[in-house]
Every structure is written in structure tokens, then in C-alpha cells.
Amino acid sequence: MKFEFSAGAFIYFKGQGETLILFLKRERDYDVPKGHIEKGETALQAAHRELKEETGLDLPFAPHFVEETSYVFRKGKDRILKRVKFFLGESKTKDVAISDEHLGYEWMTKDEILRKVKYKDIRVLLPRLFDYIVRYEEMLKLNAEYARLPDKTYGWELSRRLVPGDGPLDAKAVMLGEAPGAREDEQGLPFVGRSGEMLSRVTHRAKLKRDSFYITSVVQFRPPENRAPAKEEIAACAPFLKRQLAIINPKFVVLLGRTAASTVLGINEMEANHGRVVEKDGVQYFITYHPAAALRSTTNLEKMAGDFEKLRELISEK
């Protein structure tokens, strides 16, 4: 058996109350923009290149949305196993400059896709695709509103730069920390400083994939001099955290440290509660140390590592 590797993209356009997906017309069927991954290319680079070559569109893809399908077909006497990675992006225009290899294009609703598109590998992805687009649009709106919070709050002392959450918007589990530090504030990403390195270390040690979690914080603006956020600051950010968790709708939330545990569950004592699971409103909340505590103490590091072993077992059971 031979192998082929391709990459493509689902491109959507927000119509009047409808989400439309771009499909290119071929001789026998419709397909999304995609093509072979060339030597030296990543799948992401190939998807961008194919999109521009086949449609003239050059646009960013939604972070963390990647779907992979595979199927077998025959080419002459050879059986080919083809693997395709799909990404997701939004177009602000319906105007498309198709290449000569296509007969035309259509922007289709979900029902039209089910009627017109024959490829099973495309059809099976539709439920997650449309669900993810809804989450993505809601999170973009939320972050835009959240970023304006400093301008609406009297006496604001935190950084004025929002550090958005990061990870799959349909993640099974969320990691919730306290607040961004200096490195997070600079890069606009959560847990990328020394605490982030420790979090990656503990996660890897427990044989969990960090990029499978959605990672965020109780307060998503850096406090001055890395102090703990005040009660008033936590309260101001609480409605946005609640909406954020509602968009992700996780089965598990990992509470990293006292601030997260206190904010969500009213629990302030870590020594007696780390490794504990508390169910609330249908969500399993898992309490553990903040990575900063593990940086300060090898004892805390071993306790946190043990907690993450329990977390792996808990997640694998669901």
C-alpha cells in the first residue's frame, strides 16, 4: 500500500442568519480547497498555499481546529491510503477567484452540503465543524467585550492587555489558573512563562497532552508586580469566566491553585484538598497546586505530579 498526504481548509462565510461553507465544483463532485503536502511543507503551510492557489483567498485559520481523515482508494494497480488534515477559516467576502482545475464554486448551507456533497470524509466532519464555528464566533465576541473591561472599570490597576484563553474550543477539560504574568502579558498567551514550563513538564510526565486542554485564568489581565488579583478584580472578571466556560462546556475543570479553587468552589486550603474532585452543576472540578507552587518546592512538585496522574485516570474513564 502507498501513502498520500494532503491538507485543506473549510472556509465559512456568515450570511444573513446562515453559515455558508465554500465548496469547489469538480467534474464529478464538490470538494473543499485542498491538495498534496509538498516536500518541506507542514500541513498548515500546504493548506494556506492550496487555498490561495485554488481560490485566491489568503486568510488566517482558527487556532486549534484540526481534523484528520483517511481513506483508501485505487490508482491503477496501487491501493493508496490518503490522509488529509483540515483547518478552518472565515472569509469576509464571497468573491472567489477559482483556478483552472475547477468548474465553479458554491457557498453551501449544511443542508445543501448533505444533499450535494458525496465524499463521506467531508460529511462526517460536519457536526463538529458547525459546532466549532458557533463556539469560535462566540469566543471572538466574548474576548472583544472582555478587552474593553479596563475602559469601563473605575480605578483599574491591572494591565490593559487581555490575555485570551488558548486551546480547543470544544476541549474535554479546562485548566484554570490565577492570572497572567509578565511573559503572558507580553505574548498574549496563558502559561508561557516559568509556570507554563512547569505545567508542560507535569502534564507531559502524566502522559497528558497539554494542547488537548483549554487553558485560561480567573483574571485575564496581569496584576501589577505579579500580585494576586484583588476580590474586586476577580468579581469584575467573573461574568466573563462564566461565559467562557459555558462556550467550552467542558466535562472537567482543573483548578490550578488557591485562587482558582477559592473563586469557583470557595476552597482556600490546598494541602487538605489537592487531588480532590468536586462535582458542581454537572462539571467535575479537580483541585491541584498552581505550577508556581511546584517551582518553589519539590514537595509540591511531587504532590502536583501525583495529582496529574489521578487526573489522567479520571479523564480516561469518561
- Over the stretch 189-207, which tens digit does the pLDDT of each residue have? 999 999 999 999 999 999 9
**CA distance linking residue 106 with residue 67, whole number of Å:** 22
Same fold, 2-124 and 148-317: no
**CA distance linking residue 270 with residue 315, whole number of Å:** 21
**CA distance linking residue 220 with residue 189, whole number of Å:** 10
Instruction: From residue 307, give the alpha-carbon distance in Å to each of 30, 143, 275.
Output: 49, 31, 5
Contacts of 89 (CB under 8 A, 6+ apart): 9, 10, 11, 12, 51, 57, 59, 60, 61, 62
pLDDT of 41 strictly over 70: yes
**CA distance linking residue 178 with residue 1, whole number of Å:** 51
Q: What is the pLDDT of residue 112?
A: 95
**CA distance linking residue 139 with residue 106, whole number of Å:** 27
Band of residue 33 on the pLDDT scale cut at 50, 70, 90: very high
How would CATH label the architecture of 2-124? Alpha-Beta Complex (3.90)
Band of residue 17 on the pLDDT scale cut at 50, 70, 90: confident
Name the nearest CA neighbour of 240 among 218, 209, 208, 221.
Answer: 218
Give the chain's length. Answer: 318
Neighbours of 28 (CB within 10 A): 7
Band of residue 70 on the pLDDT scale cut at 50, 70, 90: confident
Domain boundaries, the chain: 2-124, 148-317
- Grouping H, G, I as helix, E, B as strand and the rest as coil, residue 224 is helix
Contacts of 65 (CB under 8 A, 6+ apart): 87, 88, 132, 136, 168, 169
Q: What is the pLDDT of residue 121?
A: 83
The CATH number assigned to the domain with range 148-317 reads 3.40.470.10
**CA distance linking residue 306 with residue 36, whole number of Å:** 44
**Cell numbers found for residue 296:** 518553589
Q: What is the pLDDT of residue 222?
A: 98
Cα angle: 311, vertex 313, 315; to 5 degrees: 65
| Mean pLDDT calculated for residue range 119-127 | 89
| Mean pLDDT calculated for residue range 236-256 | 98
pLDDT of 120 strictly over 90: no
Q: Are the C-beta atoms of residues 195 and 292 closer than 8 Å to each other?
A: yes
Band of residue 145 on the pLDDT scale cut at 50, 70, 90: very high
The percentage of the chain sitting over the pLDDT mark of 70, rounded to a whole number, equals 100
Name the nearest CA neighbour of 238 among 263, 213, 267, 261.
Answer: 263
Position with higher pLDDT, 28 vs 155:
155
233-249 b/e (C-beta count within 10 Å ≥ 16 → b): bbebbeebbeebbebbe
**Cell numbers found for residue 70:** 483517511
Name the nearest CA neighbour of 264 among 228, 226, 302, 237.
Answer: 237
Going through 218-297 in order, the beta strands assigned E by DSSP cover 252-256, 277-280, 283-288
pTM for the full predicted model: 0.93
Band of residue 318 on the pLDDT scale cut at 50, 70, 90: low
